[in-house]
């Protein structure tokens, strides 16, 4: 496998199933449980990247691809990393709304969501002192349902608390890292060192690039470029100069299937950049053979690893490091507890464990410096490290629900 490979070189779709699981994760089929989603990722040409995301210990695995827009000299062939994260938040929140509604004997509501994520970066890639950050997301939920407004408000806010995907914002965790330089694991000294077992290098795990699983019943266009482009001309921001950079990622979602298949359109609020759409399957389907797409939590795991890899690639390019063949194994643990019927249902995220494989002629110090700078500038690692309760607004049957509900105070 070579870093000269491109996303479109294989002729495969941007996403597809590569391995059939025996049973879906309890995070997707039950009201409680814990599971670890594993992303095995590698860089391709330029800013293009590929990941195989396994949905827990017994679930299926999905291949996904990402790219960057032309504002940082990407080729715009696949969604940007933060789009994966935004789409994952949509899909998992919709799932929690549907499950809670059923547990409370409410008719399945018609739901549409708009969700914005806000990020910033202070400092310089050139100097290596950039620090990434995030601000609370804004979530607008529109619901059509024959139920009192107070029940709808409780439904939405309880779903926010129940979502393991939204826990990546609502809970602060200290992530762990392992680094392997030219095939040998070294102790991480500038970030919290992982105490987990050695991960298998994806270069050795996969003798050839992932291919679509024969006989899989994936939905068509699991990830697609919609053809819509933000108004205006692209502005090149790849120079790494010192300034405050602000990024807004927007998304709009709807249910393709009221049982829990979501279609989410995401875009970066910058001139000239493309919109991308994701289909995800968060139905209560225990038989993994019946699933037709990855879950929202799989999109979350992919977004985190892809965002970190973009920062690695950017710094390698800016510093002209003799480092290549970047690969990562990322373990993302999610958990749920409580009861969706009584308001105690709670989703959680535990520290993400990242195992970074680097090869090249630089010394150990340069390899670890790269690992640390990328973690410091990664928007999603910044999100995981902060507590960012989202700002939620609800429209019920065309009218806003004005009575404030503090979901954080009702159980955390």
Beta bridge partners of 359: 324
CB 80 within 8 A of CB 66: yes
Determine which of 163-167, 172-176, 238-242, 408-412 has the lowest per-residue pLDDT on average: 408-412
- Domains of the chain as residue ranges with CATH: 7-410 (3.30.300.20)
Q: Quick: pLDDT tens for 88-99.
A: 999 999 999 999
Mean pLDDT is lowest, of 113-122, 190-199, 273-282, 315-324, for 315-324
Residue 2 banded pLDDT, cuts 50, 70, 90: very low
What integer is the mean pLDDT of 345-370? 96
Q: What stretch of H or E contains 161?
A: helix 149-162
Strands of 145-202, DSSP E: 176-181, 184-186
DSSP 382-400: HHHHS----EEEEEETTEE
Give the residue among 229, 246, 226, 253 at the shortest CA–CA distance from 139: 253
Whole-number pLDDT of residue 231? 97
Quickly count: other Cβ atoms within 10 Å of residue 329's Cβ: 23
> Taking the CB of residue 266, how many other CB atoms lie within 10 A of it?
27
Question: Can you give the pLDDT at residue 123?
Answer: 82
Q: Quote the CA–CA distance of 281 and 251 in Å, as a whole number.
A: 17
Using alpha carbons, list the distances in angstroms from residue 71 to 75, 101, 188, 234, 330. 9, 42, 33, 6, 27
Helices (H) and strands (E) in the chain, counts: 8, 17
Neighbours of 62 (CB within 10 A): 30
Q: Report the percentage of the chain scoring pLDDT > 70.
A: 95
Residue 407 has a pLDDT of 47
Q: What is the pLDDT of residue 410?
A: 41
Other residues' Cβ atoms within 10 Å of the Cβ of residue 197: 9
As a whole number, mean pLDDT of residues 97-112 equals 96
- What is the average per-residue pLDDT within 38-54? 96
Mean pLDDT of 230-244: 79
pLDDT for residue 59 is more than 90: yes
Output the pLDDT for position 320. 86
| pLDDT at 412 > cutoff 50 | no
State the pLDDT at residue 237.
Answer: 80
Tokens of 156: 């939405």
Q: Is the pLDDT of residue 311 over 80?
A: yes
- State residue 404's pLDDT score: 52
CA distance 80 to 51: 13
Angle CA 329–350–404, to nearest 5? 130
* Segment (H or E) for 29: helix 26-29
- Comparing CA positions, the residue from 246, 235, 234 lying closest to residue 272 is 234
Angle between the N-to-C axes of helices 296-319 and 81-103, in degrees from 0 to 180, rounded to the nearest 10: 160
Half-sphere exposure in the Cβ direction for 59 (13 Å, CA): 29
Of 33, 39, 79, 1, nearest in space to 274 by CA: 79
Q: What is the mean pLDDT of the chain?
A: 93
Phi, psi of 393 (to 5 degrees): -125, 150
222/153 Cα distance (integer angstroms): 31
CA distance 89 to 96: 11
pLDDT tier for residue 408 given thresholds of 50, 70 and 90: very low
- Tokens matching residue 154: 């409780």
Q: What confidence tier does 409 reach under pLDDT thresholds 50, 70, 90?
A: very low
The answer to whether 92 and 297 are in contact (CB under 8 A) is yes
Model confidence at 260: pLDDT above 50: yes
pLDDT surpassing 80 at residue 238: no
In the prediction, which pLDDT does 243 show? Answer: 67
Give per-residue pLDDT as tens, 283-295.
998 888 999 999 9
Q: Which two three-digit tokens encode residue 20?
A: 């059939």
């Amino acid at each position: 496998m070579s870093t000269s490979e491109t996303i479109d070189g294989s002729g495969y779709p941007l996403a597809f199933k590569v391995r059939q699981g025996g049973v879906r994760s309890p995070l997707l089929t039950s009201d409680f449980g814990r599971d670890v989603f594993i992303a095995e990722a590698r860089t391709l040409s330029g800013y293009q990247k590929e990941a195989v995301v396994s949905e827990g210990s017994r679930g299926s695995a999905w291949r996904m691809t990402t790219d960057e827009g032309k504002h940082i000299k990407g080729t715009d062939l696949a969604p940007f990393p933060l789009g994966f994260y935004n789409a994952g938040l949509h899909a998992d929140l919709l799932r929690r709304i549907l499950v809670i509604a059923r547990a409370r004997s409410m008719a399945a509501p018609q739901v549409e969501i708009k969700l914005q994520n806000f990020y910033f970066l202070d400092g310089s890639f050139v100097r290596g002192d950039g620090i990434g950050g995030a601000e609370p997301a804004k979530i607008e939920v529109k619901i059509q349902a024959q139920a009192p407004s107070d029940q709808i408000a409780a439904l939405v806010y309880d779903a926010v608390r129940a979502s393991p995907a939204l826990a990546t914002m609502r809970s602060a965790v200290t992530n762990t890292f392992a680094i392997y330089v030219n095939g040998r694991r070294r102790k991480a000294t500038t970030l919290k060192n992982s105490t987990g077992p050695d991960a298998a290098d994806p270069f050795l795990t996969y003798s050839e690039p992932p291919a679509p699983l024969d006989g899989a019943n994936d939905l068509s266009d699991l990830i697609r470029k919609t053809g819509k482009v933000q108004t205006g001309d692209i502005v090149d921001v790849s120079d790494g100069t010192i300034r405050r950079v602000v990024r807004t990622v927007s998304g709009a979602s709807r249910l393709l299937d009221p049982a829990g298949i979501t279609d989410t359109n995401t875009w970066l609020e910058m001139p000239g950049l493309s919109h991308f759409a994701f289909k995800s399957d968060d139905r209560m389907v225990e038989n993994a053979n019946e699933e037709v797409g990855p879950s929202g939590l799989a999109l979350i795991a992919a977004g985190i690893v892809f965002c970190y890899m973009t920062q690695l690639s950017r710094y390698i390019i800016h510093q002209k490091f003799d480092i290549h063949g970047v690969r990562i194994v990322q373990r993302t643990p999610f958990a749920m507890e409580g009861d969706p019927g009584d308001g105690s249902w709670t989703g959680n995220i535990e520290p993400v464990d990242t195992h970074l494989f680097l090869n090249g002629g630089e010394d150990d110090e340069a390899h670890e410096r790269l690992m640390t700078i990328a973690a410091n500038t990664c928007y999603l690692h910044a999100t995981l490290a902060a507590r960012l309760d989202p700002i939620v607004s609800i429209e019920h049957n065309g009218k806003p629900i004005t009575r404030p509900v503090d979901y954080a105070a009702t159980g955390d």
